[in-house]
Structure 1
Amino acid sequence: MNLYLKDPQARIDHEIDWSAYLAGQHVIASAWHVGPGEAGGIAVEADAFEERRTSVRLSGGVVGRLYCVTNRVTLSDGQEDERSIHVRVEER
């Protein structure tokens, strides 16, 4: 589990390097989801992907809350996979 700290006012980028999991494939689609979804919670502000990497910009969050940020990708051979990071919001 990857745990990151985030200030509620910060807008930060996170990246997942998929190259170790691709076995000759590449990423053709990427979607991000944050749970739990709540008013004032962490929001996906922007996202992008390349053949071997995905990224997301996160904003907001309620102090003291722990969020699971999941990236689900589709690979060039049609397989789907996902990885998650955990983000705890704290005043920094």
Structure 2
Amino acid sequence: MGRLGPTEIILILVVIILLFGAKKLPDMARSLGKSARILKSEAKAMKSDDQQSAPAEQPAGAQDQQAAPRTIQAAPGDVTSSRPVTEPTDTTKR
């Protein structure tokens, strides 16, 4: 059941050509190839970013000492506040 013979492959190709038309198939294959290249390059970029950021990470205790307050901006169109809200930082020592 898992193996496709030449007859099944030809039948599948004929159905695909009938569904999409012979003119659209090259465009579809081209855009599929572009998508695969973009996906591959993004995966490489994410992997290299992870490898670069791993040695730069600090131990858990060092982050508490250097924590700075973060500013949270209101979403566009939010009428509750037009000023940035500053989060309180944890200043307790462990």
- Range class of TM-score, shorter chain: under 0.3
TM-score by length of 2: 0.23
Which protein is richer in strand relative to its size? 1
> Which structure's relative contact order is higher, taking Cα pairs within 8 Å and 6+ residues apart?
1
Which protein is richer in helix relative to its size? 2
Which has the greater radius of gyration?
A: 2
TM-score by length of 1: 0.23
